Amino acid sequence: MQAWVIGNWKQNPATSHDVNALMDDLLTAVTAEESTRAGTAKHCQLMIAPSCIHMAAASARLQGSSVLCAAQDISAHSATTGAYTGDCSAQQVTDAGAIWTLIGHSERRQYHQESHDLLVQKLDNGLKQNLGIVLCIGETQAQYDAEQTFDVLDEQLAVIKELLEQQANQQSGQQSAAPSDVAVTLSERLIIAYEPVWAIGTGKVPTVAEVSATHKYIKQTISSFAAPLSTVSVLYGGSVNADNADSFAADSMIDGALVGGASLKAESFLAIAEAFNRAKT
C-alpha cells in the first residue's frame, strides 16, 4: 500500500518570501532525490497543505513535480460561492490548485468550535468538488487519561457514516438505501489522520503499539460502516520528526504521517517521507 506523508503548514510561513524559500528547498531536494532514484519504485506520496493565502503560489510551483497540494480547510456553508465572509470554498481551493483538503483538525475543533454537523457539510462540500478529504480525529489529554479514546473516535468517525447515509438517500430517495456505490467513491477520496491532541506540537508521542492498536480500531470501525472503506489509509500525526519516523513507518497499521512543525523544513519533512518510503516497499 502506498504511504502518505502530508505537511500541514498551519499558519506558516509568515511571508510569501519565506514560502518561496521553503518551496525552493523542497523542490530542489525532491528533484535530486527523484533523479537518484531513477526508475526505482516510490512508495510514499508527498503532499503539502499551505495556508489559503499561499495556496495558488505554492501549487503553481508544484506543477510538474510529484508533490500534491491540499487545503487546510474548506467552507461548510457552500461548495461554491456565497455571502460567507472569511471562508474559502471547495471550488475556490480546487481552482487554486488543491487536490485534497484537511477537515476537522483539532485546532479547528478547538478554536472554531467545529461541530459534528459542520464536518458532515464540509465532507459533502469537498466531495461535490471532487476533492480528496483528510479527516482529522483524535482525543485530548483528559480523554486519553480517562481512557475514552475509542469513544471519542467513535463520535468523530460517525460523520462518515452520516455522510454515507445522507448521500445514499439523496441518490435513491429511499431511507434505507444501501450506500455501497457511494462508499466506493468515498474509499478513493478519504484518508483518516489520527492525531492525539496531546501529541500535537508537544514532543510527546504515544507508543507505536498504542498508535497501531488505535489505527486497527479506526480501520475496523470505518469498515463496519461500509466494506469498501477497509482500504482507506490511516495516518498518524503528532510530533512526528526525522528521529521517530522510522518507528511509526515500520508498523503495518500506520499508512503515513501528517506532519506539522517538521514539515516547515524540507530536510526533516523529506527524511520522514524517506522513512515511509523505505518501510513500505
Binding residue for ligand 13P (CB under 6 A) from 44, 71, 240, 270? 240
**Residue 126 makes contact with ligand 13P by CB under 6 A:** no
Residues in the chain: 281
What is the spatial distance between Cα 189 and Cα 128, in angstroms, rounded to a whole number? 11
Catalytic residue among 54, 107, 195, 215: 195
Site size toward ligand 13P (CB under 6 A) is: 14
Task: Give the nearer residue to ligand 13P in terms of CB position, either 258 or 266.
Answer: 258
**Residue 200 makes contact with ligand 13P by CB under 6 A:** yes
Report CA-CA distances (Å) from 35 to 32, 61, 62, 63, 278. Answer: 5, 18, 17, 17, 17
Cell numbers for 253: 497499521
Site string for ligand 13P, 129-168 (x = CB under 6 A): ----------------------------------------
Site for ligand 13P in 4-33 (CB under 6 A): 8
Give the 3-state secondary structure of residue 250: coil
**Residue 261 makes contact with ligand 13P by CB under 6 A:** yes
Task: Give the nearer residue to ligand 13P in terms of CB position, either 73 or 195.
Answer: 195
Least separation in angstroms between CB 145 and ligand 13P: 19
Task: Give the nearer residue to ligand 13P in terms of CB position, either 191 or 262.
Answer: 262
Catalytic residue among 54, 105, 114, 139: 105
Cβ 92 vs Cβ 117: under 8 Å: no
Annotate 43-63 with three-state secondary structure: CEEEEEECCHHHHHHHHHHHC
Task: Give the nearer residue to ligand 13P in terms of CB position, either 183 or 234.
Answer: 234
- Please indicate whether residue 105 is annotated as part of the active site: yes
216 forms bridges with which residues in the sheet? Answer: none
Tell me which stretch binds ligand 13P (CB under 6 A): 53-61, 73-81, 215-223, 235-243: 235-243
Q: Is 59 exposed, middle or buried (0-12, 13-18, 19+ CB in 10 A)?
A: buried
**Residue 179 makes contact with ligand 13P by CB under 6 A:** no
Q: Taking CB positions, which residue lies at the least distance from ligand 13P?
A: 260
Site for ligand 13P in 55-74 (CB under 6 A): none
Q: Is 35 exposed, middle or buried (0-12, 13-18, 19+ CB in 10 A)?
A: exposed
The β-bridge relationship of strands 233-237 and 3-8 is unpaired
Which of 68, 65, 135 lies closest to 98, judged by CA?
68
Which of 203, 240, 196, 186 lies closest to 8, judged by CA?
240
**Residue 256 makes contact with ligand 13P by CB under 6 A:** no
Upper half-sphere CA count for residue 62 (Cβ side, 13 Å): 23
**Residue 201 makes contact with ligand 13P by CB under 6 A:** yes
Tell me which stretch binds ligand 13P (CB under 6 A): 29-37, 40-48, 237-245, 248-256: 237-245
Question: Which chain residues interact with ligand 13P by CB under 6 A?
Answer: 8, 105, 195, 200-201, 237-240, 258-262
Q: Which residues are catalytic?
A: 105, 195
